Amino acid sequence: MFELQNLQRRALLCGSGALLLATLAGPTRAEERSADQILQAADAVRNPPGSFSVRLQLTEYRQGRQSANSVLIVYARPSPDSGQYRNLVQFVTPARDAGKLMLRNGTDLWFYDPSSSASVRISPQQRLLGQASNGDVMTTQLARDYRAERVGREPLKDGDGVQRDSLHLRLSALREDVSYARVDLWVDATDDRPLMARYFSAEDRLLKTAYFRRYETALGRSRPSETVIIDGLDSGWVTVMRSTEHTLREVPEAWLQRDYLPRFRAQ
């Protein structure tokens, strides 16, 4: 848990404004692109192109002790109209949740429980496990939901403890139905890797801080295999989200329809 404790302290430092602006020697490729272009590049690091599936393991910690665990499989397919991902999330563990589903198609988010055969509308802001909300486990293109502006170029210690030259972007929601009203995102200035994000409510309250770390090769490029999410008020409340088994696959259109949920079977 030593690593998590370091991240907790780092999140507090970031919240107090300890990040300093870096001195730039001259214009570089990063400065030649718009903030929206940089955000699009960061999206491409997080998300494989086309349809795919990924296995997520969520582990919640309270004051350094594991308190809950969950495993999900996310099926994602880009919409031909908006380019935003549509998602079907299958619950695998714990046993009491096995077989439950979440569906996101456009702005609609549904939860399906096979024990009642009922699907109900839910919010992406609702907590799923610990600091991970329903929206956090969904595959999203941030550039489709937010307008980006450049804050500056800053030194940042990433989630693996390495000092990075980063670009700080401020993202403002384009619609009210997105998970967060504002996001501050730091990406590596050399390769657009997302490093850290801070998520804010409509009242400008810090909800959580996330570190994207442990980059591994998945589907042709280096992507974060772990996201550490720290509560905005209680730094001892941490959720770790690990991704494995990235697989390019056809996600059938039928799976992404609400009336198909009772017929879905694990593949």
Domain boundaries, the chain: 2-263
- Predicted local confidence at residue 267, as pLDDT: 62
Q: d(Cα 248, Cα 59) in Å, to the nearest integer?
A: 25
Residues 6+ apart with CB under 8 A from 75: 51, 52, 53, 87, 88, 89, 90, 249, 251, 255
- Predicted local confidence at residue 70, as pLDDT: 97
- For residue range 30-66, list pLDDT tens digits in order: 568 999 999 999 999 999 889 999 999 999 999 999 9
- For residue range 223-243, list pLDDT tens digits in order: 999 999 999 999 999 999 999
Answer whether the bond into residue 48 is a cis peptide, omega within 30°: no
The CATH classification number of 2-263 equals 2.50.20.10
* Contact criterion met (CB below 8 Å) for 53 and 79: no
* Residues of the chain falling short of pLDDT 50: 2, 16-27
- Predicted local confidence at residue 31, as pLDDT: 61
Enter the pTM of the model. 0.86
Q: What is the mean pLDDT of the chain?
A: 89
- Predicted local confidence at residue 220, as pLDDT: 92
